[in-house]
């Protein structure tokens, strides 16, 4: 089976964000930023509407601190904190869409009025971005979700917590999912030198 990989290089993540901002692509920037920061499956991500991430106030839009959703695959309720990167990306999107309404999709198709892009279109976008910044490996839309898990693990999140977050039945599934390689396992043996 041919699995997509997480993005394991922070420079590549920064390069992707810089490319999308420099080319004034707020929809795509938001797709990438939310994808790697909240770990939703692409189908659930594409269905998000403005009202799920921001609320209208007398002074304009206020970005929410959290996102509440029901996963399509599992029907589980999820509450995800919107970190600074996610909130910044939502703000950037809002700047480009000052007349947006609560019910507007965040990732609107240019071909179908008031419909989100398809998962196939999102996959093509991710492949394009990866190519432009020279990102190697098998990268696709699921790489966004896996990237979240990989970096959460690198920052000290226990496998069991990630297992619960992703809904995996066993820790070894989570380790494989986030791309923990044999080299990284061997590095642990070299680094613990008591």
Q: What are phi and psi of 147, to 5 degrees?
A: -65, -40
The answer to whether the CB of 7 falls within 8 A of the CB of 179 is no
Q: Helix-strand-coil percent breakdown of the chain, rounded to 5?
A: 50, 10, 35
Task: Give me the active site residues, please.
Answer: 41, 73, 142, 145, 168, 177
DSSP state of 107: T
> What sign does the dihedral 88-93-95-101 (CA atoms) show?
negative
Of 152, 118, 116, 127, the closest CA to residue 38 belongs to 152
Strands 66-70 and 77-81: antiparallel
Decide: helix, strand or coil at residue 124: helix
Distance CA 65, CA 84 (A): 9
| H or E segment to which residue 27 belongs | helix 26-38
Tokens of 19: 């490319």
């Amino acid at each position: 089976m041919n699995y997509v990989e997480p993005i394991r290089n922070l420079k590549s993540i920064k390069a992707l964000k810089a490319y999308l901002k420099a080319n004034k692509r707020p929809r795509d920037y938001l797709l990438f930023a939310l994808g790697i920061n909240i770990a939703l499956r692409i189908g659930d991500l594409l269905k998000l509407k403005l009202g799920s991430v921001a609320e209208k106030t007398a002074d304009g839009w206020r970005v929410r601190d959290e996102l509440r959703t029901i996963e399509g695959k599992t029907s589980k309720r999820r509450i995800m904190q919107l970190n600074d990167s996610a909130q910044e990306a939502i703000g950037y999107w809002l700047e480009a869409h000052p007349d947006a309404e609560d019910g507007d999709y965040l990732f609107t198709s240019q071909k179908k009025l008031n419909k989100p892009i398809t998962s196939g279109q999102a996959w093509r976008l991710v492949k394009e971005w990866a190519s432009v910044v020279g990102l190697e490996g098998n990268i696709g839309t699921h790489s966004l979700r896996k990237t979240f898990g990989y970096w959460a693990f690198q920052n000290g999140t226990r496998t069991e917590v990630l297992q619960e977050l992703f809904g995996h039945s066993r820790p070894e599934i989570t380790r494989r999912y986030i791309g923990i390689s044999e080299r990284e396992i061997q590095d642990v043996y070299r680094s613990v030198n008591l």
